[in-house]
Amino acid sequence: MKRSTLISELALKYKYLNHPQVERMVEQVFKHLANVLSQGQRIEIRNFGTWAVKTRKPRIARNPRTGEKVSVGEKRTIGFRMAKLLKFRINKDQSLAKNINTNK
């Protein structure tokens, strides 16, 4: 799903908000999430998943074209781990998804 599709669907669902209002809200949510991650913090959305900043150690890699060794510095990347409920929903196992939701 693209950002524009998300905005359009939310605007249709929440008719009391106009399209520019929904667009601003979605932009603010994504800006906030990006800001939190850039500060190295973790984001957890229940029943959906968790994003966390991971640090990759410096290493020696190879240039695939020349085979020459290249030093690659430390990098920060984002890892996503999906929640059990989302995993079951993706795999179409609705009975397990319902059990997880009702056991809380």
- Same domain, yes or no, for 76 and 94? yes
- Position 52 scores a pLDDT of 97
- Same domain, yes or no, for 55 and 87? yes
| Residue-wise DSSP of the chain | --HHHHHHHHHHH-TTS-HHHHHHHHHHHHHHHHHHHHTT--EEETTTEEEEEEEEPPEEEE-TTT--EEEE--EEEEEEEE-HHHHHHHTT-HHHHHHHHHT-
- Mind listing the pLDDT tens digit for each residue in 30-46? 999 999 999 999 999 99
- Mind listing the pLDDT tens digit for each residue in 74-86? 999 999 999 999 9
Tell me which residue of 44, 24, 22, 23 sits closest to 33, measured CA to CA: 44
Domain range for 25 is: 1-39
- Same domain, yes or no, for 49 and 31? no
In this structure, what CATH number is given to the domain that contains residue 82?
4.10.520.10
Per the structure, the count of domains in the chain is 2
- Same domain, yes or no, for 50 and 92? yes
- Same domain, yes or no, for 10 and 49? no
Taking 80 as the threshold, does the pLDDT of residue 20 lie above it?
Answer: yes
pTM over 0.85: no
